[in-house]
Structure 1
Amino acid sequence: MRVAATMALVAVLLAACSDSPSPGKTQRHVFLIVMENHTPEQALSGPFMASLADKYGVAENYHAITHPSVPNYLALTSGSTWGVTDDSFHVLPRADLGTQLTKAGVTWRAYMEGMTTGQCIDSPTPYDPGHNPFAYYGGQCPPNVVPHDSLAADLAGDTPRFVWITPDDCHNTHDCDVSVGDDWLRREVAQITASKAFKSNGVLFITYDEDDSTADNRVLTIVVTPDLGHRTSAREYTHYSLLATIEDLLGVERLGQAKTASAMTDLIG
């Protein structure tokens, strides 16, 4: 009887251990900031971005998918451009990263600068709904899409596992000089890297939706982690690679073209 009871207890303990996610999957937070419409050389003319490139990971052979902006945002969040070739609003199926994370029980929020509460399509400029891809899936924003003003409190408290950040059309350098976006990034990155969520093995990606309309469409993508320091990668990556990397980090299946993309494992640790 004692042997049987002991074996039963061991079985229960083993089952409990096997049902517990690994620390990396439960604790790693992923942050993504998407900037606008510049080549790597243009982006690096900002002293803060240049300092990040000197200190952290840089994907030197990273390319956007196409032109103009909207299909790149769709590629980043669903693994497909859905045949979209313009910057108009399109209602698409709910087959995106946000829907995927919600179904998997992974906490996430998208912070949209300039968006007013409940107005993810109609908020005034410098907010741009074309830079809010989550509004396209199902034709409206899920409750996870919130004004950027909510970010500071979330970083100080219960930070979602996945944080997407869209600056307004000035701070993302779409309509304003690189120096303006560089100053904004200095403040934004500082509050992210000071957070407990980032310090606990978090990872911050900063990328650009597209370059300045060249055929090459190479964009700057920086990977900031607490401990890895400066490194570069010459591997060919795209927005599908970044989506694949994010999905792998958050423990969900890959969507669309991300299924066959190379994850950015040499830059994330």
Structure 2
Amino acid sequence: MVFSIAKTGRLGLIGTLLAAVLSATACQPGVGAGTSASASPSPEPAKHVFVIVLENTSYQLALRQPYIASLSRQYALATNYSAVALPSLPNYLAISSGSTWGIRDDAYHQLPAGGIGAQLTSAGISWKAYMEGFTGNPFAYYGGACPSNVVPMTNLGPDLKAGTPQLSWITPGLCNDGHDCGLRTADRWLSQVVPQITSSPAWRKDGVLFITWDESSANDSRVALLVVTPSLRGQITMPLDHYSLSATISEQLGVARLGQARQATSLSKELQAARVQASPSGS
């Protein structure tokens, strides 16, 4: 499934009008995000975290694609990672706020202000969400308004060269995310975008890129999670899910975990151990 604030036929006339207003104004530069969630700034410098979320692909199918398979060999692959709900929208919300908010559809729902974006803004930590269209954008749901941090995908290239935010959330459009045009198209898109990220000063300095899928295309919840960072290799076999990713993102950026991510297993210990081992003073 796919969700979009511009596709709301299921909501009736009121929902359609609301979505039209949001599509026309909420995600344009200069529109505020409403009330931000409170958070204390981290005493540690925030690292650079990149997140790419693709659509509707089982673990097995993802690993059959040539570029995705090459990333799994070169970096780290979580082999026991799961989506937390059906359909798409609650999974995006789980990653970005630690909660599905009880949502079981892909319709537009105005949620309370909050989520990782508002939390980072409150903490003074830079972030942007790079969108190739309006689909796959969870940030428009929190507080009923989309922050100016949500920008077109075309901004990614220049930002990777200079001024990379500490969180870069990257959502391709319906073709490049594998939803409409197949996973081979998504694999080719990744082969073009990932090298831009891994050659950037931000990623090379202290960055980690997470690549995952919102939900499986098989009759299970298992999806792949690729952890692309210079210091971590091999398979990660412990049970993880989208709440684990939410927890890891928060910890890497030095802010408190949100919602059900508070109880989730994160990857921060593994990332830190790999960094220490890779450092000149590591043993």
* Same-fold status (TM-score > 0.5): yes
Rounded Cα–Cα distance in structure 2 between residues aligned with 1:45 and 1:73: 24
Structure 1's unaligned 5+ residue stretches are 1-18, 116-126
1:112 maps to 131
Q: For residues 77 and 20 of structure 1, do their structure 2 counterparts lie closer, same or farther at Cα, with a shift above 3 Å needed?
A: closer
Q: Is the 8 A contact 2:42 2:255 kept in 1?
A: no
State how 1:84-99 maps to structure 2 within 5 Å: 84-99=103-118
1:152 lines up with 2:171 in the alignment:
no
Q: Is the 8 A contact 1:58 1:267 kept in 2?
A: no
2:142 maps to 137
**Total equivalences in the alignment:** 232
Return the offset for 1:21: 4.1
Q: For residues 142 and 179 of structure 1, do their structure 2 counterparts lie closer, same or farther at Cα, with a shift above 3 Å needed?
A: same
State how 1:1-269 maps to structure 2 within 5 Å: 21-22=43-44, 25-26=45-46, 28-113=47-132, 115=133, 127-128=134-135, 131-212=136-217, 214=219, 216-228=220-232, 230-265=233-268, 267-268=270-271, 269=274
Partner amino acid for 2:71? L
Helix, strand or coil: the match of 1:200? helix
Partner deviation per Cα, 1:98-122 (whole Å, 9 max, x = no partner)? 0000000000000001x3xxxxxxx
Return the offset for 1:227: 3.0
Rounded Cα–Cα distance in structure 1 between residues aligned with 2:98 and 2:213: 16
Return the offset for 1:37: 0.3
Partner deviation per Cα, 1:139-190 (whole Å, 9 max, x = no partner)? 1210000010100111011100000000001100011121111000001101
Rounded Cα–Cα distance in structure 2 between residues aligned with 1:101 and 1:157: 20
Q: Which has more radius of gyration?
A: 1
Rounded Cα–Cα distance in structure 1 between residues aligned with 2:218 and 2:115: 26
Structure 2's unaligned 5+ residue stretches are 1-40, 275-283
Partner deviation per Cα, 1:195-216 (whole Å, 9 max, x = no partner)? 00000021000000000152x3
Partner amino acid for 2:147? P
> Which 4+ runs in 1 deviate beyond 3 A?
19-22
Return the offset for 1:44: 1.4
Return the offset for 1:234: 1.1
Helix, strand or coil: the match of 2:56? coil
Partner amino acid for 2:244? S
Partner amino acid for 2:240? Y
Q: For residues 148 and 53 of structure 1, do their structure 2 counterparts lie closer, same or farther at Cα, with a shift above 3 Å needed?
A: same
Q: Is the 8 A contact 1:223 1:267 kept in 2?
A: no
Q: Is the 8 A contact 1:60 1:232 kept in 2?
A: yes
Partner amino acid for 1:241? S
Return the offset for 1:265: 3.2
TM-score by length of 2: 0.79
Helix, strand or coil: the match of 1:151? helix
Rounded Cα–Cα distance in structure 2 between residues aligned with 1:197 and 1:239: 24
Partner amino acid for 2:254? G
Over the aligned positions, Cα root-mean-square deviation in angstroms equals 1.5
TM-score by length of 1: 0.83
| Identical pairs, percent | 50
